Amino acid sequence: QLQLQESGPGLVRPSETLSLTCSVSGRSISSSGNHWGWIRLAPGKGLEWVGSIDYSGTVRYSPSLKSRLTVSVDTSQNQISMILSPATATDTAVYYCVRHAQWLVKVDWWGRGTTVIVSS
């Protein structure tokens, strides 16, 4: 059974760095056919794709976040990470770690989500 567990600071100051980690259990993140990503849900808004990375290391970012975003994997820890810098108030959201069963579609596994508030 695949499990995705997000972790990170609940509060980030504006202009500082928002850093999240997703610990994956039940599957190797580097095995072929596995693609990973982040999707967020801001208060009062709809779902928004943040970025995705596949098992070979190919990454794709939301155009609106690309200049501030880095998504990476740590195969030794079986983790996926995202860094958003500098953070702004509009980055306040619940962040979900996800698995795509097919590149950029079919998001078949979701973490429980972690809430991040960007505020001074």
Q: What does the binding site for other proteins look like in residue numbers (CB under 8 A)? A: 39, 41, 46-49, 52, 60, 62-63, 96, 100-108, 110-113
Query: Smallest distance, Å, CB 15 to other proteins?
Result: 26
How far is residue 115's CA from residue 120's CA, in Å, rounded to a whole number? 16
Q: Which is nearer to other proteins, 62 or 78 (CB)?
A: 62
Query: Smallest distance, Å, CB 52 to other proteins?
Result: 7
Side chain identity at residue 70, one-letter code = T
Q: Which is nearer to other proteins, 104 or 119 (CB)?
A: 104
Q: Which is nearer to other proteins, 63 or 76 (CB)?
A: 63
Query: Smallest distance, Å, CB 45 to other proteins?
Result: 9
